[in-house]
Amino acid sequence: MLTLTSPVETRLHRLPAGGKLAVLCLFSAGLFLLRSPVWLALCLAVVALLHLTGGRDLAWRGLGALRILWPFVVIVTLWHGWTGALVEGTAIILRMLAAVAAANLVTMTTRLSDMIDVLSRVMRPIAPVLPPRRLALAVALVIRFVPVLSARVGQIVDAHRARSPRRRPGWRVLAPAALAALDDADRVAEALRARGGAG
């Protein structure tokens, strides 16, 4: 499996994974304490500057990762425009963009194996109930497979458009997307079994 880590080495790559995840948690929690769009815009600007410190490639990758949010931005804008609460809607959009951009930045500058190790240590107190390694692996797989499934759905949509240019894909891609997700899950399960299981 490929990782989401950016191949371009930056200073952020050399920071410890535990510290980055801790800062991400504090930053995300702090976003929900802010109500002013001005302060939230400043937070988003800080995240954008951190992307730019990694160079143009990292910045473009971070911007591309935010494209998946456009339906939510449209829905929030329309709803708050209809209810006359554009200031609150702007705050929600800025908070969402800042939180997701920060999470993407941490993901792009942290190896998946390092994140699993940190999560395993943090979850050690619940070891009698649930093995930390399994839970950490599950979280890592979710992080990894969200963009994979998104790309797979994009391929299915493109294939449908190539065969039926006059018809919009709509609900027709749901069944093939679900089958593709199940197929990927089966392959990952086989790979885990071949390597000794989930630990």
The string of DSSP letters for 137-157 reads HHHHHHHHHHHHHHHHHHHHH
Name the one residue in this structure whose structure tokens are 């993407």. 104
Question: Are 23 and 103 contacting, i.e. CB atoms less than 8 angstroms apart?
Answer: no
Does residue 69 surpass a pLDDT of 90?
A: no
Structural domain boundaries in the chain: 16-110, 112-199
Per-residue pLDDT of 139-162, as tens digits, reads 777 777 777 777 788 888 888 888
Instruction: Give how far the C-alpha of residue 195 lies from the chain's centroid of Cα atoms, to the nearest Å.
Output: 26
Task: Give dist(CA 65, CA 74) in Å, integer.
Answer: 17
Q: Kindly give, in sequence order, each residue whose CB lies less than 8 Å from that of residue 96, ignoring residues fewer than 6 positions away.
A: 69, 72, 73, 76
Kindly report the pTM of this predicted structure: 0.71
Token digits for 94?
């800025």
Please write the tens of the pLDDT for every residue from 73-111. Answer: 889 999 988 988 889 999 999 999 999 999 888 888 888
Supply the Cα-derived Rg of the chain in whole angstroms: 19
pLDDT band at 6 (very low <50, low <70, confident <90, very high): low
